Amino acid sequence: MSVWESWIALGDSFTEGVGDDGPDGCIGWADRLAAALAEQYPRLRYANLALRGKMLAEIVDEQVPVVEELRPQLVTLCGGGNDIITPGSDVDDVAALFESAVRRLRAAGCDVVMFTGPDPRVQPLLRRVRGKVAIYNGHLRAIAEAHGAMVVDLWSMRVLHDRRSWCEDRLHFSTEGHRRIALRAAEVLGVPGQADWREPLPPEPPQHWLNERRADLAWTTTHLLPWVRRQLTGESLGDGLQPKRPELTPIRLRSRS
């Protein structure tokens, strides 16, 4: 098993940890995985450059050069989701750009971990691009094989088909979703886990259809319409924000709920 003493996480809101709120901001799967890695590798230094709203080209232009300069032993890369849900985007072009990033990261001597997109079948907004996600995932698996990268397969995680794995905006994962993804990523890296990510969530009490329709209406007003507006105006949730962990620093272990 490899021993990693430096790791930089690249990406967008998924890797930033949006949806998994803590007392000091987002936690997310990457911070949770960092804590697990630090228990195995106490000298680990970790940076998280991911920022919500980033398109893949921005990740490649702004985050990949930092890796090329610092040359960490491990890099996680997840991106392209914001591109795919944008109307008119070409999956093949997105995948070609992603491969160029992987090629650069591998040339810098880094071990690379990639993530497939999850199956969005349970989410009304994302379900419309399910076919594009599946095609993109096929590209990602081929890229990983060609360049010797590791893959965390979110599509096959049936627990993510449970709506409780997603937060109320129906775009990002909940705390439970991030926790399961951290466990899955740890398994890919060969890090012993404290729980099984495959374990189903407990049965959910039946919901009255009227309550579900009210929830749909509230979601439309609170989340869907603002999302549409941002798509039309080119705004990003990350405008004016900075990465939460921009430098390689040691991990301060904390309890993981």
Chain segment 197-214, per-residue pLDDT in tens: 999 988 877 765 556 656
Residues with pLDDT less than 70, the chain: 1, 125, 207-234, 236-239, 253-257
Instruction: Check residue 257 and give its pLDDT.
Output: 46
Task: Determine the pLDDT at residue 220.
Answer: 56
Q: Which pLDDT score, from 0 to 100, does residue 237 have?
A: 67
**Which residues are CB-neighbours of 248 under 8 A, at least 6 positions away?**
6, 8, 45, 46, 47, 70, 72
SS3 readout for 63-102: HHHHHHHHCCCEEEECCCHHHHCCCCCCHHHHHHHHHHHH
Judge contact between 85 and 16, C-beta under 8 A: no
Q: Which residues pair with 74 in a beta bridge?
A: 7, 111
Per-residue pLDDT at 8: 98
If we measure between CA atoms, which residue out of 218, 131, 222, 118 comes closest to residue 172? 118
Distance linking the first and last C-alpha atoms of the chain: 27
Q: What is the pLDDT of residues 4-16, one digit of tens each?
A: 999 999 999 999 9
Task: Give all domains of the chain, ordered by start, each with its CATH number.
Answer: 6-195 (3.40.50.1110)
Strand partners, 245: 48
